[in-house]
Structure 1
Amino acid sequence: MRILLWHVHGSWTTAFVQGEHEYLVPVLPGRPADGRGRARTWDWPSSVREVTPGRLRRAVEDGEVDVVLLQRPHEARLLREWTGRTAGGDLPAVYLEHDAPGGPAAATRHPLADVDAVADGRVPIVHVTAFNALMWDTGTARTTVIDHGVPDPGHRYTGEREHLAAVVNEPVRRRRAAGTDILLCLAREIPAEVYGMGTERLAEQLAPLGPVAAGTAGRLHDLPQPELHERLPGARLYLHPYRWTSLGLALLEAMALGMPVLALPVTAAYEAVPPEAGVLSADPDELAAVARRWLNDPAEAAAYGKSAREHVLRRYPLDLFLDRWSTLLTQEVSP
């Protein structure tokens, strides 16, 4: 099958393109958000091909695109502008919703809930967690849930560095949702490493918090995924500070590496982190206490990490993820 999708979410797409299909990814000069092309910080197979808008139009005209995977509301407009075809009309299409609703949680109307092609069932909406499906108001649109799939990075946990680690993109801009204040609270007393885009902006907020936090200001990194997976499991534990998120793939990847985890008991974290894999708490003091315990007891930390890895590979297997997506897309192409 030949699948058109935009490069929106690097970690999710890295799992998705491990399938047996051919993947067409739009590319534009300068690689802006609507034309990032192939990933440059993740390992993608040769089955992922970049296409310019002009090449995409020819591919569609020649019948070289079987289905469109939309991930943002405006991508249907881009498809129409670039190819003259409509999603769900001229071309089979599926809409993937990565996020939890950003407005009032129980009452936020999905942007595609009232689009005709979605409302009459021609473009199903796929959620990445059951929690998201529960919270979004998708009207009469056909919806389903396909859980994440995690490529196995191997058990790499060593925990030799007595630090907690966190992966948070844009921690200053996304402060409340990302739980950056929780991270800063723990960083006052627990040496930390923070990875992700825009983490350098944390330095000026860490420095005034005392000597331990000032040390963390020197451990802010934005690394390609292969380097991140090499570096991350050297930290003793992983902190997932998010208040409101879908289900961070960085959390699942840390668990797959064999890291013990701390997280807030919100959204889908309860099913991602069972008691044997880590600790969920809404109390930052309790999270800090567990972090200190694991820093002083590497054997206990490693035991939690072993369970975390076993759980995530059992609960979010890549082969099941790929099979479910292949089945869904095949059904849309050949109803």
Structure 2
Amino acid sequence: MRILLWHVHGSWTDAFVRGRHEYLLPVLPEAGPWGLGRAGRDWPDSAREVTLADLDADHVDAVVLQRPEEIAVAARALGRQPGADLPALYVEHNTPKGDFPFSRHPLADRSDIPVVHVTHFNRLAWDCGSAPTLVIEHGIPDPGQLYSGELPELGVVINEPVRRGRVTGTDLLPVFASVAPLQVFGMKTEGLAAVAGIEKSRLTARGDLQTRELHRELARCRVYLHPMRWTSLGLSLLEAMHLGMPVVALATTEAPRAVPPEAGAVSADVDELLRCARRLVANPEEARRRGAAAREAALARYGLGRFLDRWDEILWDLHTTPRHTGTERLEEKILIPRRERNTP
């Protein structure tokens, strides 16, 4: 299939474009949120940059939407209406903002475009009304078991920790810094120590590293810290688990499902997390053992193969369901995995 999608979430797209299809990524001279294309990423050749003005609409089999505005943009560019005469799915990456738990999804009650949530918590949190919904959990290209844990420090990945504040648990960093020095990776981490009131010797802002360098440097830290209060499910957490890192995480949103108890500690009790972090920093062998459990769990639930197989099922069913069969038939096909049907 030839699938149109915008490069919105780099880590998720990094997994999605490794499937068996041809992926059409709009590009603009100025790049920006509507024209990133590949953005220099090391993706398969099947992920192609395209100019919307030159794209042959008849050669697009489906569109994967990630922002409400993309529905109108795709319709204007292709002369085909997503959900009507162009098969479409909407991927919801984020937890709702605002009036939770009464947050209405932008596609609530629409019968023509199914909403694909990336976590079960997101599906529970959003009010999608009568719109068909399903969950396809994240998949991660396996970076390998790179964990050494040679540094008795806590590694954490947070993008824009100063601006996002309590959402990303930035206010909790000082208490964790009292247990062990922090290495903070991510975009716009400059000046974080001063803003958080942490001595520079206890927090090193590493910035936004390239993926391979990030994995290599993060894996040197003894423990991965996940202080997020209200994010969907940071892919950096799943990457850290794939690396073989033990995890200390707030028990919020999807983290309790992603991180098994044997992988470290998942709790809403910060004191409990501090005790675990302190113990793991002081005991490299226990940290390594729990990191191995984290990797095993991540490979089983968030492996790339499982992710791509599930997407193949959904895309095939969407593509082969006639638009005139109605919502009931579409829901029947997309909500019931093929292995639960009596079909090959």
Which range, TM-score by smaller chain? Answer: over 0.9
The separation in 2 between residues aligned to 1:77 and 1:184, in whole angstroms, is: 45
Gaps of 5+ in 2: 322-344
The separation in 1 between residues aligned to 2:64 and 2:36, in whole angstroms, is: 16
**1:41-190 matches, cutoff 5 A:** 42-56=41-55, 59-60=56-57, 63-114=58-109, 119-120=110-111, 122-190=112-180
Query: After TM superposition, where is structure 1 displaced by more than 6 Å over at least 4 residues in a row?
Result: none
For 1:31, the equivalent position in structure 2 comes to: 31
Amino acid at match of 2:81: T
Partners of 1:186 and 1:284 within 8 A in 2: no
The separation in 2 between residues aligned to 1:79 and 1:201, in whole angstroms, is: 40
Secondary structure of the structure 1 residue equivalent to 2:161: coil
Partners of 1:10 and 1:39 within 8 A in 2: no
Percent of pairs with identical residues? 55
Q: For each residue in 1:284-332, what CA deviation from the matched residue of structure 2 results, as whole angstroms up to 9, or x when unmatched? A: 3322222221111100100000000001101122112111111111111
RMSD: 1.4
Query: After the TM superposition, which of the residue ranges 100-109 and 254-263 deviates more from structure 2?
Result: 100-109
Partners of 1:165 and 1:239 within 8 A in 2: yes
Q: For each residue in 1:26-66, what CA deviation from the matched residue of structure 2 results, as whole angstroms up to 9, or x when unmatched? A: 111221011111033x431111111122123xx21xx2210
For 2:325, the equivalent position in structure 1 comes to: none
Amino acid at match of 1:96: V
Partners of 2:162 and 2:195 within 8 A in 1: no
The separation in 2 between residues aligned to 1:219 and 1:322, in whole angstroms, is: 34
The separation in 1 between residues aligned to 2:191 and 2:108, in whole angstroms, is: 37
Partners of 1:190 and 1:288 within 8 A in 2: no
**1:269-288 matches, cutoff 5 A:** 269-288=255-274
For 1:297, the equivalent position in structure 2 comes to: 283
Amino acid at match of 1:26: P
Amino acid at match of 1:146: I
Count residues with an aligned counterpart: 321
Partners of 1:146 and 1:325 within 8 A in 2: yes
The separation in 2 between residues aligned to 1:188 and 1:47, in whole angstroms, is: 48
For 1:324, the equivalent position in structure 2 comes to: 310
> 1:245 offset after TM fit, Å?
1.2
For 2:216, the equivalent position in structure 1 comes to: 230
Amino acid at match of 2:316: T
**1:216-255 matches, cutoff 5 A:** 216-255=202-241
For 2:21, the equivalent position in structure 1 comes to: 21
The separation in 1 between residues aligned to 2:166 and 2:268, in whole angstroms, is: 14
> 1:189 offset after TM fit, Å?
4.1
Q: For each residue in 1:114-158, what CA deviation from the matched residue of structure 2 results, as whole angstroms up to 9, or x when unmatched? A: 4xxxx22x2110011111111110011011111111221111000
> 1:106 offset after TM fit, Å?
1.8
> 1:19 offset after TM fit, Å?
0.6
Partners of 2:225 and 2:249 within 8 A in 1: yes
Gaps of 5+ in 1: none
The separation in 2 between residues aligned to 1:229 and 1:30, in whole angstroms, is: 29
Residue 5 in 1 paired to residue 2 in 2?
no
